[in-house]
Amino acid sequence: MPGEPLAVHPLSFLRQMRGWGKAEFARLMQAHGRSLGIPLATNRTTVWKWEQGQEPDADAQRVLADLLRVPYEQVREEGWPRWLPVWEVTGLAAPWTEAGTVEALSELVGSGRMDRRGFLTITGAALTSLAASWVDAPSAFASALNGDQVTDAMVSTIEQRISTLRSLDDQLGGARLLEQARGDLALVTGLLSAGRYTDKVRVRLYALAARVSHLTGWMAYDAGLRSAGQRYYVGALRSARTSGDNAFGAFILAEMGVHVSEAGRTAERVDLISTAIDNAPRTLSPYTQSFLYLHKAEALSHDGDHRKAGTALNRAVSLWERHAAEEKTDWLDWFGEAQLKSTEGKVLLRSGQVERATGSLETSVKSAAPRDKAVRSSRLAEARLAGGDLEGALDAANYGAGLLENSVSSVRALDRLKEFSARLEPRNSVPAVREFRERLQALPMAA
């Protein structure tokens, strides 16, 4: 697979699903190979190597495919490890109806609590199909199920809970709040599946389900649970479509693009944000349009098209300058100059404009919420290092490390600092560099 190494290999997940230890799996492979007339010398070490990234030879893949009842044509078409049967996500197959949305949300509540797949689940044709389905899906509502009456006051109470949770996430990071978000999603899903409500309340409930599913996905992503984050985003996309909120749906597609881009699938992110922009409501405010074009600039930049990225960035800045404060929506009220400057800095840095990039990133870190300060400090450190300012780079990186030590819990921020630390390896003879790298190693993995 392109992109970063898999945190948990699909083969590891498959073995865990079926209860096979490495040694047992190796014996199964040998026995099944003998039944097919294909001698294999598979042992525990062989399995370990496969799960560390070594690709099995053709004979081993043929035996494994037959053992798992996967057509060998599929093996040849999809390649290792994409052909392994571990990528199914219920939310992709359910119909785009109210019942399908409730099914997807219920599946999330029942099985979304563990990110057993540390690898990215939804990519390629499945992701493209999801975006296309969002464009075409109806917003029909089914009859209300029997159950308790859901009142406006109840929905307002949950909306306030979610707003408070979002504010806490900015301060503390998602890892510490993920369980609470999951609980709120379970509450909303229960009301949808068993409650009685008016049409007006029904729309509010699905809009609320979209908000809390997105927030849960964001927190999972911030906690390093990429696959779980994606699955919650699918629930959010479906719920937004069912409530008729296509502006929020466009926002979700833009956010999903971040996941695939970080996994090295940069062209897929460009396609996602293009779908979002092309199918968003014509009535979008300049504020929301600025957010979407900022995502487009980042996507194009990551994909290496710096000219088009610059055009999209200029469009985002122009729209931002035209926006009015009253245009903010509840799901985008966190978007501001700090986010604009952060993306501007990344786009400029990738295009080689180091001095301008550093200025934008300094502004972003200075005005960001604590969790975002921790995440963005590593990018600022990278820019300063690119400009030859090692001392300034270490100041920025140590600032981020200090936040993780004292107040913020974000695996994402820790991972960014580790990436920056790897850049410092050639300078490990410098005492300040060694001190920072030792400090980083002492941080807890669940920061």
* Tens-place pLDDT, residues 32-91: 999 999 999 999 999 999 988 899 999 999 999 999 888 888 888 888 887 887 655 556
The tokens describing 135, both together, are 């464009």
User: For the residues of 40-56, what is the DSSP string, one character each?
Assistant: ----HHHHHHHHTTPPP
Does the pLDDT of residue 129 top 70, yes or no? no
State the Cα–Cα distance between residues 80 and 87, nearest whole angstrom: 13
Does the pLDDT of residue 245 top 50, yes or no? yes
Is 318 a domain residue? no
Of 111-125, 192-206, 334-348, the poorest mean pLDDT is in 111-125
**157 and 228 both lie in a single domain:** yes
Is 347 a domain residue? no
Is 295 a domain residue? no
Closest Cα to residue 221, out of 374, 411, 405, 91?
A: 411
What's the full length of the chain, in residues? 447
Is 297 a domain residue? no
Under a CB-based contact definition with an 8 Å cutoff, are residues 310 and 347 in contact?
yes
User: For the residues of 140-181, what is the DSSP string, one character each?
Assistant: ---PPPSSPBPPHHHHHHHHHHHHHHHHHHHHH-STTTHHHH
State the Cα–Cα distance between residues 438 and 91, nearest whole angstrom: 43
Q: How far is CA 323 from the centre of its chain?
A: 28
**136 and 189 both lie in a single domain:** yes
* pLDDT for residue 146: 42
Of 65-79, 176-190, 247-261, 372-386, the poorest mean pLDDT is in 176-190
Is 412 a domain residue? yes
First CA to last CA across the chain, in angstroms? 27
Under a CB-based contact definition with an 8 Å cutoff, are residues 274 and 297 in contact?
no
End-of-domain residue from the set 212, 244, 276: 244
The tokens describing 142, both together, are 């089914």
Over residues 261-281, the mean pLDDT reads 91
**23 and 146 both lie in a single domain:** no
Is 341 a domain residue? no
End-of-domain residue from the set 201, 217, 244: 244
Under a CB-based contact definition with an 8 Å cutoff, are residues 121 and 230 in contact?
yes
Burial track 203-225 (b if 16+ CB lie within 10 A, e otherwise): bbbbbbbbbbbbbbbbbbbbbbb
End-of-domain residue from the set 244, 278, 309: 244
Of 304-308, 372-376, 402-406, 411-415, the poorest mean pLDDT is in 411-415
**29 and 129 both lie in a single domain:** no
Residue with tokens 């790298």: 437
Over residues 428-441, the mean pLDDT reads 95
247 vs 86, residue with greater confidence:
247
Does the pLDDT of residue 273 top 50, yes or no? yes
* pLDDT for residue 379: 96
Over residues 270-294, the mean pLDDT reads 94
Please tell me which of 92-101, 240-249, 325-334 the model is most confident about, judged by mean pLDDT: 240-249
State the Cα–Cα distance between residues 133 and 135, nearest whole angstrom: 5
State the Cα–Cα distance between residues 148 and 106, nearest whole angstrom: 18
**65 and 99 both lie in a single domain:** no
**71 and 107 both lie in a single domain:** no
How many structural domains does the chain have?
A: 3
Q: Which residues constitute the domain of residue 74?
A: 10-78
Does the pLDDT of residue 3 top 50, yes or no? no
**108 and 14 both lie in a single domain:** no
**68 and 132 both lie in a single domain:** no
State what percent of residues in the chain have pLDDT above 70: 86
Is 286 a domain residue? no
State the Cα–Cα distance between residues 235 and 140, nearest whole angstrom: 16
* pLDDT for residue 141: 29
**153 and 61 both lie in a single domain:** no
**74 and 186 both lie in a single domain:** no
Of 121-135, 154-168, 268-282, 387-401, the poorest mean pLDDT is in 121-135
**35 and 109 both lie in a single domain:** no
Over residues 433-443, the mean pLDDT reads 93
* pLDDT for residue 272: 93
State the Cα–Cα distance between residues 384 and 386, nearest whole angstrom: 5
Under a CB-based contact definition with an 8 Å cutoff, are residues 94 and 134 in contact?
no
Is 238 a domain residue? yes
Please state the φ and ψ torsions of residue 220, each to the nearest 5 degrees. Answer: -60, -45
**180 and 38 both lie in a single domain:** no
